[in-house]
Amino acid sequence: MKSTANILAVCLLGSVLLNCTSANKDGETQVAANTSVKEVNINNPIITDKFSADPAALVSDNTVYLYAGHDEAPDDFNFYRMNEWLVYSSTDMVNWKEHAVPLKTTDFEWAKGDAWAAQVIGRNGKFYWYVTVEHGSIPGKSIGIAVADSPVGPFKDALGKALITNDMTTDKTQISWDDIDPTVYIDEDGQAYLYWGNTACYWAKLKDNMIELDGEIHTVDLPYFTEAPWIHKRGDWYYLSYAYQFPEKTAYAMSKSITGPWEYKGILNELAGNSNTNHQAIIEFKDQWYFIYHTGGIQPNGGSFRRSVCIDELHYNPDGTMKRVVMTSEGIQ
């Protein structure tokens, strides 16, 4: 992967940073322009030696851990081929260190592949990784949980079976791939919530042990919900961002409670170029908010099934709504 800069762009910072007025020997006034050159690195995508997708991020101990699925589809194969997840860490959002592959679909004996979107959360010194995989015996996608003592693993199956299987939601949606894309949030009172879904957006409480549901599965109505819910909180607002329509944009809703009602607020990020998915994660780190997503930005073969994680800044309006993301090549400097 790339650490700081692999491509260097040099830009003149407005050309003139400081104009100095001085008198020459004839007494005429001259204006001398002091120009300054600022180096700008092309930091998006942040990983360039392999394809990476469906980012999720965790802040722990002054470090950001970035988790992604590994897009392994060959150039002539136009669907997802994903067998493992990846983990990277950074203390500045610019330089990323790759760690050993922390989790594969084969680590779940009951699963038969498809390392789709996932998210890690810490609780009581353990790190719980909620993953999407194809179930081996119950047709359809499912959600499993891995656990580790460190954010970089090693992770192992926490439950020995799926937490969510397709047959648990067929009363709500008939498709077999609706139980995907888990996002987890622990509220201030310690109650943990799992949101997930494709076509329908589901949520349920988790028990304190983080590996069992605590109550029934609910559905949230969101305009054009496709998939990829992500919950975050800023101040007293909860935010539920998600992939909207298909090809996907990112949209979001806000609420004063994690259980809703959610008020739709509009589009947060535009189509991710030549990738028909966009899959966002949102975190705050060292007083700056970040929007982490994927594009098909690595050429010539990047695209919907060979995606790459990118990061840009996220900003808010005074009323708490989020400003539309500006996807950049420069990323975080």
Supply 322's token pair.
């989020």
Pick between residue 41 and residue 102 the one whose CB is nearest to ligand FUB: 102
Minimum distance from residue 253 beta carbon to ligand FUB (Å): 18
* Binding to ligand FUB, residues 53-72 (CB under 6 A): 53-54, 69
Q: Which of 144, 145, 238 is nearest to 187 (CA)?
A: 238
Q: Which is nearer to ligand FUB, 44 or 278 (CB)?
A: 278
Under 8 Å between Cβ of 48 and 6:
yes
Over the window 69 to 98, marking each residue x when it contacts ligand FUB by CB under 6 A and - when it does not, the resulting string is: x----------x------------------
Question: CB burial class (10 A; 0-12, 13-18, 19+) of residue 321?
Answer: middle
Instruction: Considering only residues 230 through 289, tell me which ones interact with ligand FUB, judged by CB under 6 A.
Output: 277, 279
Residues forming beta bridges with residue 59, ordered by sequence position: 64
132 or 269: whose CB is closer to ligand FUB?
132
Length of the chain in terms of residues written: 333
The mark string for 119-138 relative to ligand FUB (x by CB under 6 A, - otherwise) is: -------------x------
Looking at the Cβ atoms of 173 and 333, the one nearer to ligand FUB is 173
User: Which of residues 117, 253, 258, 281 is near ligand FUB by CB under 6 A?
Assistant: 117
Minimal distance, residue 266 CB to ligand FUB, in Å: 20
Distance, CA of 291 to CA of 228 (rounded, Å): 14
Contacts 24+ apart (CB under 8 A), 58-62: 58/119, 58/120, 58/121, 58/122, 58/127, 58/151, 58/283, 59/283, 59/284, 59/285, 60/122, 60/127, 60/151, 62/91
Nearest CA to 283 among 115, 131, 120? 120
Binding mask 169-208 for ligand FUB (x = CB under 6 A): -----------xx---------------------------
- Minimum distance of ligand FUB from residue 50's CB (angstroms): 14
Residues that bind ligand FUB (CB under 6 A): 53-54, 69, 80, 116-117, 132, 180-181, 227-228, 277, 279
